[in-house]
Amino acid sequence: MIKIEDIHKSFGRTKVLNGVSLEVKQGELVALVGGSGSGKSVLLKHIAGLLRPDSGFIYINGTEITGLNKRQLELVRKEFGFLFQGGALFDSLTLFENVAFPLTEKLRLPKEEVTQRVLHYLDLVGLSGSEEKYPSQVSGGMIKRAALARSLITEPKIMLFDEPTTGLDPQMSLSILNLIRSVHDRLNLTGIIVTHAIPSVFKFTNRILMIYEGRIYFDGSPEEFKRSEEPIIRRFLGEEVLD
């Protein structure tokens, strides 16, 4: 469970989050949308404890995390999978080694088991055959998918996906959303997907959050979102349709 109470965050003079509150229940998969630069990535990083809010509270499964030190945070982070907007794969490692990294370094699993799991997950994201390539040798979409495999392979309880489908062709984004959905259903994980894949995402979640001017501007079902008469939402949807 993720619960956020009135967080504020500024970088220098730019106010990015201006009183965000929200709650995502155990097992819920929600989509977070909003214009570019509206603070979606910043919000996700707060939930993961990578950024600290100027004020406000964040609870992960009941534990308040904004006051925790590094060691205490580590315990909470065990539960997390995080997909960075840019993938954040390690340049010096192959795709295989990247996906294997959390298993070999953190969980210290035996070699055969690592190989088997990595190959399985690479297959799930459609990357069989590219195991030995380095991030610099593959496309942005492939980096995204390898990063998704890396974040799912530890079978986390809470998953934060920052734009898993951006940069993928429509068919690939559909299959990635399907994959996220099926992993979600299998592990009953709690998840937030930041996405621009509108309208396809409407089929994959039953709750949409929209961030606007540093607050949660909309919180409701995809149907309500689509039907909304709010000019700001209409304009946002219009933009997305034009895309």
Partner 1 sequence: MGPIRYIGAFTLNKLKRLGRMFFFLFEAFLYSIIPPIKLGLWVRQIRFIGAESLSVILLTGTFSGMVLGFQGYYSLSRFGSEAFLGPAVGLSLIKEIGPVISALMVTGRAGSAITAEIGIMRISEQIDAIELMGLNPFRYLVVPRLLAALVSVPLLTSIFDVVGILGGYLIGVKLLGVGSGTYFGEMANYVDLKDVTEGLLKSISFAVIIVWVSCFKGYYTGIYTGFGAEGVSKATTQAVVMASVLILLWDYVMTSLLFS
Ligand X SMILES: Nc1ncnc2c1ncn2[C@@H]1O[C@H](COP(=O)(O)OP(=O)(O)O)[C@@H](O)[C@H]1O
What SS3 string covers the chain?
Answer: CEEEEEEEEEECCEEEEEEEEEEECCCCEEEEECCCCCCHHHHHHHHCCCCCCCEEEEEECCEECCCCCHHHHHHHHCCEEEECCCCCCCCCCCHHHHHHHHHHHHHCCCHHHHHHHHHHHHHHCCCCCCCCCCHHHCCHHHHHHHHHHHHHCCCCCEEEEECCCCCCCHHHHHHHHHHHHHHHHHHCCEEEEECCCCCHHHHCCCCEEEEECCEEEEEECHHHHHHCCCHHHHHHHHHHHHC
Dihedral of CA 33/36/37/41: which sign?
A: positive
State which of positions 11-40 bind Mg ion (CB under 5 A). Answer: 40
State which of positions 6-25 bind ligand X (CB under 6 A). Answer: 11, 14, 16
For residues 68 to 87, the per-residue mask of contacts with Mg ion, x marking binding by CB under 5 A and - elsewhere, is: -----------------x--
In angstroms, give the least distance from the CB of 23 to Mg ion.
22
Residue 221 structure tokens? 């079902």
Task: Indicate whether 43 belongs to the interface with partner 1 (CB under 8 A).
Answer: no
In angstroms, give the least distance from the CB of 92 to partner 1.
9
Task: Indicate whether 136 belongs to the interface with partner 1 (CB under 8 A).
Answer: no
Task: Indicate whether 161 belongs to the interface with partner 1 (CB under 8 A).
Answer: no
In angstroms, give the least distance from the CB of 80 to ligand X.
18
Stretch that binds partner 1, among 15-23, 31-39, 72-80, 196-204 (CB under 8 A): 72-80
For partner 1, which is the closer residue by CB, 44 or 210? 44
State which of positions 15-74 bind ligand X (CB under 6 A). Answer: 16, 34, 36-42
Q: Which residue number is nearest to Mg ion in terms of Cβ?
A: 41
Total residues at interface with ligand X (CB under 6 A) = 11
- The residues that touch partner 1, with contacts defined as CB under 8 A, are 45, 48, 50, 74, 77-78, 80, 82, 84-86, 88-91, 101-102, 105-106, 154
- The residues that touch Mg ion, with contacts defined as CB under 5 A, are 40-41, 85
